[in-house]
Each structure stands twice: as C-alpha cells, then as structure tokens.
Structure 1
Amino acid sequence: MILIAESGSTKCDWVLLNKNGTEADRFSTMGFNPYFNSARFVAEHLRNLQRVQKLRKEVEMIFFYGAGCSTEPLKNEIKRGLEQVFVHAEIEVDHDLVAAAYSTYNGEPEIACIVGTGSNSCYFDGHSLREEVPALAFILGDEASGSYLGKKLLSTFLYKQLPKEIEADFLSTYHTDKDEIIDNVYNQPNANVYLAGFARFVSKHQEHSFFTKIIYEGFLLFLKTHVLCYPEAKNTTVNFVGSVAYHMEGLLQKACKDLDIKFGRVIKKPVDGLVAYHLQHKIELQA
C-alpha cells in the first residue's frame, strides 16, 4: 500500500492507496514540522494513533511533503520518525512547496504559492522547481499567512486598537489576556500554530473595514515579496494553496488584479491534486 501525506505546521492530510491506485482510506493528524518536531516526537505521536497502528506493516511506500522540509537534515528528521513507525516502507520526504506545485500543476509553467499557517512560493515548469527568495518563517516572514494575521489581531487587541464591537466579540470568543498571549507566543512550543489559530476570527470579520485593510495589505506584501520577485511573474499564472488563500480568496484576487498578476486558482487542501499527480507521474500501478 502507498501513503501520500501533505503536512502544514497545523495539520497533515494522509491518503492511503492500494497498489492499483484506488483510494483505501484518508485521515488527518497534527502537522509535523522539523523546525519544531523531532523524529522522536513524530514517531511517538503516530504510534499512539490506532489508525496508524493498523497500517504500520502494510505500507510499502510513503511520499511525505511537509512544511519546513527544505534541506536534507530537516527532511531526514521527519524521515527518521516515519521509519520508526512504518517499518517496511520506502520513504521519500520533500518540501510542502513541492506539494503545492504538484497539486496545482496543469501542464503549463506556474508560480505556486502557499498561504496557510505560513507562506511561501516557487516557480515550477513541470520539471524543475525554483525559489527566488527564501521563506523566513513566522518571526521574520510568512507574509499574509495565518500566523501573520494572528500577530496583527493580537497586537491590535493588546494595543487597544480593535473596534469596540470586534473587541467584544474577541473577548467573548477567546477569554484571554495579555499574560496568556505572551506566554503562548514567547514561552510555549509551536507559537506559529498558536498565532495562526486566530486567523479564523480574522476571516469571520474580513468584511469589516478594519480587517479588510489588514488582509488586503498582507496579500499585497506577500505578492510583492514572493511573486513579483520572479522574472516570469507578469506572464505566468499564479496558483495558491492553503486555508487563508481559500477563505479570503476575494481579497486575494483583488490584490492580484491591482498588481497585474495573472490569478489562477486556489486549492484549500493540496492532497487531492497531489494524489492525482502521483498517479500520473510518480507511481507504477499494479493491475
């Protein structure tokens, strides 16, 4: 059996295929990012999942694409964790940017973008993938992402800059305060995921002028930094994956239009397109 996994920092989607390419199962787990999760953590978490236990000796091939898996040492951190669980599997680990490119590719060169918990981009011509600028993660980068929007929301809340009706809804939704926020951001693990968790609140109020401006300006910043950096940007379709791009597509389209960027499509979950790409290009099926 074959497992295909697409992991952000928040969630990982898994699809199990039979050797003939038919889907046998799909499930989700927490996301695994080698910047924050060790091989030991990955192995221990997966071993505790009953669904995974049933597959440990049946899976023969794993294609894992994950946030943070951008260098060989980082890829190997995840791979070592998977090897401890799926004892008979051949395992390939690659970057989530590769998954974004594969899942949105339609036969023509593209710029593939991730705007979810974090953000990033690449140029993909169907053969090779190129990053023009690096992703700097949630402290220095991740423009327009869930963690970016979470930071904007929390800082405006703590600075008492939220509109009164928005502040009231925020307090009734989260029942939090400065001390709890500071502790989660500066002392607890996975601060990027914590911050991104507030993007849902921003999305809920995206039609309020206060948040419309923040979201739109975030998209402009992302596009200027991570799309217009490519020489091919003005003549190439730009596709997107990720929950922020999906749920705030209207403002993303407007930002693309205002910058004369050729907007393609948005996919919330790359895993379906990823499976289709593997069936066509990477997996030898058995009758």
Structure 2
Amino acid sequence: MRLIVDSGSTKSDWVLLNGNEEHHFETMGLSPYFHTEESVKAAIIKNSDLYATRNEVSEIFFYGTGCSSDGMRAIIRNGVKSVFEKAEVEVDHDLMACAVSTYEGEPAISCILGTGSNSCFFDGNDVIKVVPSLGYVLGDEGSGAYFGKQFVQALLYGQVPKEISDSIAVDVSKEEVLRRVYKEPNANTYLASFMKVVFQFADHPFIQQMISSGFEEFVRIHVCCYENYQNYKVHFIGSIAKLFRDQLDQACRKYNAQLGNVIQKPIDGLVRYHLERV
C-alpha cells in the first residue's frame, strides 16, 4: 500500500492506494516551520483510522509546505517514519505537488494560493523557483494569511463595512487579536481563518477590491519574475484561487499573463501522477 500526502499549513490530505481502491484521510497541516517530529507523530496518531494503517503501508510520498531544504524535510520524514516504521518515506516541497498536479505536458508557471503563497516554473522534470517564499509576515501575497491579515487590520481600524463586521461571531477585540497573533503559535492559520468571512461576503465590493489588489500584487511579484512569462500558461491551486477565479483572471490580464488551470486541491492530480508511475 502507498500513501500520497498533500500538506498545507492548515490541513493535510492523505490518500491510501490499495490496488484500485482509494481511502481518504485528513489531519491538521504539518509544516516543519511550526511542527516538531513529535507533533507530526501526534497529529497522525490523532486520526485513528489513518494510524490503523501504519503496519500495512510500504511507501509514503509526502508533499508539504516548507519542505524545501534537507533540514526541513527531515523533520517531516522522521515524524512520519516514527509512525509508519515499515514504510519508505519521500518528502518533497508543495511546489512540486502544485507543478505535477497542474501539468498539461508543456512548460508552465504553477502557483499556490493557500494559507501561504508561492510560485515556480515547471518544465515537466524540474521545478525552478525565482522569488523566495518569505512567509506570512514579510510575504505570502494573495494567500489566506495575507488577506486575513489585511481583513483583521481593516477591522481593527474600523474600515470594514458594518454588515460584514456584524456577522463575525468570534472575539475580534484588539486584545484578543494581538494575543493570538503575537503570543499563540500558528498565527498564520489564525489569520487565514478569517477567510471564512471573506468567502461569505465574496460578492461585496469591499471584499472584491481587497482580493483584486492582492492578486495583482501576487502576479506582479510571483509571475512577472519569470523570463518571457507571457509565453507560458499560469496554473493555480487553492480554494482562494478557485472561488475568486474572475479576479485572478483580471489580475493576469493586467500583466498579459495567460491564466491556465485553476484547481482547489492538488491531491487528485498527485494520485493520478503516482498511479501512472506504477
């Protein structure tokens, strides 16, 4: 049996391949920036159905955010291996998952708009990255954490329209927000959680303007950086890209970029890729 895993900062999709059968599981997001080997192990054990397969799995292919260096990959690999002791574990960056799952047989630019954001150029074999990922404090343009930070900032400044702010059921006092951002772990996922409100009011002019501006910033920084980018399709994965596809298309058009595939989750493409490699 093989496990294919796509992990973002918020959640991880796991698919167990057993012949022609597929079994799906979900855990919290497992980023080496925010997790240790022990917390990776604990997250897997918490899903009892997934944990029950530990002695049956022979191969695991894990694609995750933050897994771009040997040290970061080792945190995930060791944590997963501590549960699935009989399995060979391969760990790769989520950009590879993005590139593989959107690939159409020709070189393209592939982008992630999830809790964080990133982009790469993929020729069918190699992933080429030009702009570094700076995380939610300094970068992640167009991501859930980016828009969440903008939304919360506008909320505390009193700039969010009343019909939107009145719909928020959680505590968004200045004291609570600052505590969650500066004193609690995983501030990026906390900020991204406000995308639920953004999605709820997706058609509101205030939200539309915020999304359009953020997408334009992403395309300017993370797409226009590639030489002759106008000659290649630009693919996207992520629920934000999927829901606000029209704004994404407009942002691409502004910079003469060709919008390609827009898919919500790469896991189906990853499963297809690994089935073809059998």
Q: TM-score, normalised by structure 2?
A: 0.97
Select between 207-216 and 261-270 the one with higher mean Cα deviation: 207-216
In the TM superposition, what is the alpha-carbon distance from 1:53 to its structure 2 partner?
A: 2.3
Aligned residue number for residue 37 of structure 2: 39
Q: Which has the higher contact order (CA 8 A, sep 6+)?
A: 1
Aligned residue number for residue 216 of structure 1: 212
| Preserved contact between residue 203 and residue 248 of structure 1 (Cα < 8 Å) | no
Q: Which amino acid aligns with 1:74?
A: M
In the TM superposition, what is the alpha-carbon distance from 1:255 to its structure 2 partner?
A: 1.0
Provide the alpha-carbon RMSD of the alignment: 1.1
Aligned residue number for residue 198 of structure 2: 202
Any idea what SS the aligned residue of 2:101 has?
helix
In the TM superposition, what is the alpha-carbon distance from 1:136 to its structure 2 partner?
A: 0.6
Aligned residue number for residue 176 of structure 2: 180
Structure 1, residues 193-223: CA drift from partner, whole Å, max 9, x if none?
0000111211222222212111100000000
Any idea what SS the aligned residue of 1:194 has?
helix
Select between 60-69 and 259-268 the one with higher mean Cα deviation: 259-268
Aligned residues: 278
Any idea what SS the aligned residue of 1:169 has?
coil
Q: Which amino acid aligns with 2:229?
A: A
1:70 to 68, 76, 82: 68
Any idea what SS the aligned residue of 1:70 has?
coil
Confirm or deny that 1:244 pairs with 2:217.
Answer: no
Aligned residue number for residue 140 of structure 1: 138
Q: TM-score, normalised by structure 1?
A: 0.94
Structure 1 Cα separation of the partners of residues 252 and 93 of structure 2: 25
* Structure 1: runs of 5+ lacking an equivalent: none
Any idea what SS the aligned residue of 2:210 has?
helix
Q: Which amino acid aligns with 1:200?
A: K
Structure 1 Cα separation of the partners of residues 179 and 131 of structure 2: 32
Structure 1 Cα separation of the partners of residues 21 and 250 of structure 2: 37
Aligned residue number for residue 270 of structure 1: 266
Any idea what SS the aligned residue of 1:135 has?
coil
Confirm or deny that 1:158 pairs with 2:156.
Answer: yes
| Preserved contact between residue 118 and residue 138 of structure 1 (Cα < 8 Å) | yes
Structure 2 Cα separation of the partners of residues 197 and 278 of structure 1: 32
Q: Which amino acid aligns with 1:234?
A: Q
| Preserved contact between residue 103 and residue 273 of structure 1 (Cα < 8 Å) | yes
| Preserved contact between residue 25 and residue 50 of structure 2 (Cα < 8 Å) | no
Aligned residue number for residue 17 of structure 2: 17
Aligned residue number for residue 116 of structure 2: 118
Aligned residue number for residue 4 of structure 1: 4
Structure 2 Cα separation of the partners of residues 163 and 47 of structure 1: 43
| Preserved contact between residue 34 and residue 186 of structure 2 (Cα < 8 Å) | yes
Aligned residue number for residue 127 of structure 1: 125
In the TM superposition, what is the alpha-carbon distance from 1:46 to its structure 2 partner?
A: 1.2
* Structure 2: runs of 5+ lacking an equivalent: none
Confirm or deny that 1:88 pairs with 2:86.
Answer: yes
1:234 to 230, 233, 254: 230
2:48 to 22, 47, 50: 50
Return closer, same or farther for 1:157/1:106 CA change in 2, 3 Å cut-off. Answer: same
In the TM superposition, what is the alpha-carbon distance from 1:5 to its structure 2 partner?
A: 0.2
Any idea what SS the aligned residue of 2:71 has?
helix
Structure 1 Cα separation of the partners of residues 152 and 269 of structure 2: 34
| Preserved contact between residue 27 and residue 43 of structure 2 (Cα < 8 Å) | no
| Preserved contact between residue 206 and residue 215 of structure 1 (Cα < 8 Å) | no
In the TM superposition, what is the alpha-carbon distance from 1:262 to its structure 2 partner?
A: 0.3
Structure 1 Cα separation of the partners of residues 129 and 87 of structure 2: 30
Confirm or deny that 1:256 pairs with 2:237.
Answer: no
Structure 2 Cα separation of the partners of residues 91 and 167 of structure 1: 45
In the TM superposition, what is the alpha-carbon distance from 1:157 to its structure 2 partner?
A: 0.7
| Preserved contact between residue 17 and residue 25 of structure 1 (Cα < 8 Å) | yes
Q: Which amino acid aligns with 2:272?
A: A
